[in-house]
Chains A and B, each alone.
Chain A
């Protein structure tokens, strides 16, 4: 499944949550994930780690975007939404985030 196809399935009202197919570890403000799907390690930067914390419980894409806009006031809403969709699309393709 490509990132683009995962992303295309996402809308602002889509609810997502972290899957059980991973283990994760906080590293200061960042995080590292180990995917059970492909056995690879993935480093998350601060913004991605913030999204990762948010999806530990079911959230809509809109809720995630708005939470980021509250935390990072210097990000433009469109830019933020695009980044959220891109990250979630990638996480879905890696089976570390699922749609519910």
Chain B
């Protein structure tokens, strides 16, 4: 499917509009949910960490440190991607699956259009901007932690900021964005595969969306393990 996606490309003037539309649908349309979840999960991580540090010998700035590490290394790239598998993945599977059921994909093929290139390539290109959404999630997660600290009184703002700066390793950011790029590709291709090759009617579109979510989540979790072992192990 991936090889076929790059064969016989659609006219650039048409493709440009498709990519921009998919950026709007898949990336910009997801920023709200990513921002909301990241901000509050960042806050929760901070509260949980602060409440579990009962030993007075452990410095309070560790709250900021733990929040930063949790959000940059795992929450933003991996768990946001699983949430996106539900939102973006289901959208991709159901929209392509509906086109299959209503013969719109056959109509493209009869016209001599490479339907894989026309439908899946723009989504894959649009999702290459997915790391931007994850960067927003990282920023808002850390901001959410800061808000919880300040307004909840779990630690001081200075301690939190000191924790954010402690032992910062820039490779952790590179690691997070390598994962994000790979997850973006998974988010574009697995749901597209399930939508494009589905058979049946409206009921099967729903089933294909569910199956696509499960497989996307499973592949993301497995790749997360493999990539972490390869890059940090």
A binds B: no
Residues of B bordering A, CB below 8 Å: none
Residues of A bordering B, CB below 8 Å: none
